[in-house]
Amino acid sequence: MLMRTDPFREMDRIFQQLSGTSGTWSKPSAMPMDAYREGDAYVIAFDLPGVSTEAIEIDVERNMLTVKAERRPAPKADTAQMELSERPLGVFSRQVMLADTLDTERIEADYEAGVLTLRIPIAERAKPRKIAINGPADRKQISG
């Protein structure tokens, strides 16, 4: 139901984790995600721990879904001395190409416990349906 748009995105994410660099608005870091089908909806879950809902942007243009978020440093007292800093900060982004079979007009977004979950309904036209077969007795006779 979706396609990766950048095959090197995962390599960039691993490099940024190892090097300790943060994402910026011009070069955001990748965010981990899961995607699966659940009944008549497609579900995509993004890990965004420590990000407020006000710092998350979700856009859909045509079939391209873009999620951007920014995690800022937690406020600390002026006397605090950082001993260890492993939690990534900065800008995170992910783009996902959605299939034409998804109804992008009815996407629902929930954010709980640091996980942004998007539910995208499968379009009615893409759902399986039975097609009746007409036999000779079902046809109307045309008199001419």
- Side chain identity at 133, as an amino acid letter? I
What is the rounded CA–CA span in Å between residue 129 and residue 73? Answer: 51
Residue 84, CA atoms < 13 Å, CB-side half-sphere: 1
User: pLDDT truncated to tens, each residue of the chain (144 aa)?
Assistant: 555 555 566 666 566 555 555 555 556 678 899 999 999 999 999 999 989 999 999 999 989 999 999 988 888 888 888 887 777 788 899 999 999 899 999 999 999 999 999 999 998 776 677 888 888 866 565 555
What backbone torsions phi and psi does residue 90 show, to the nearest 5 degrees? 110, -155
pTM: 0.69
What is the rounded CA–CA span in Å between residue 118 and residue 43? Answer: 6
- Side chain identity at 116, as an amino acid letter? L
